[in-house]
Amino acid sequence: MRVFARKILRVFLEQHLDSEEQLRTWYKEALKAKWASPTDIKSEYPKASILKGGGVVFHICGNKYGLIIQINYLRKWVFIRFIGKHSEYDIIEADKIQQI
pLDDT top residue among 87 and 14: 14
Position 99 scores a pLDDT of: 46
**Predicted TM-score of the model (pTM):** 0.86
Phi, psi of 38 (to 5 degrees): -60, -30
> What DSSP assignment string belongs to 24-81?
HHHHHHHHH----SHHHHHHH-TT-EEPGGGEEEEEETTTTEEEEEEEETTTTEEEEE
pLDDT at 98 over 90: no
> How many domains does the chain fold into?
1
pLDDT digits (tens, 9 = 90+) for 30-52: 999 999 999 999 999 999 999 88
Mean pLDDT of the chain, nearest integer: 88
Domain with 45 in it: what CATH number?
Answer: 3.30.2310
pLDDT digits (tens, 9 = 90+) for 60-84: 998 899 999 999 999 999 999 999 9
Domain that holds residue 72: 2-97
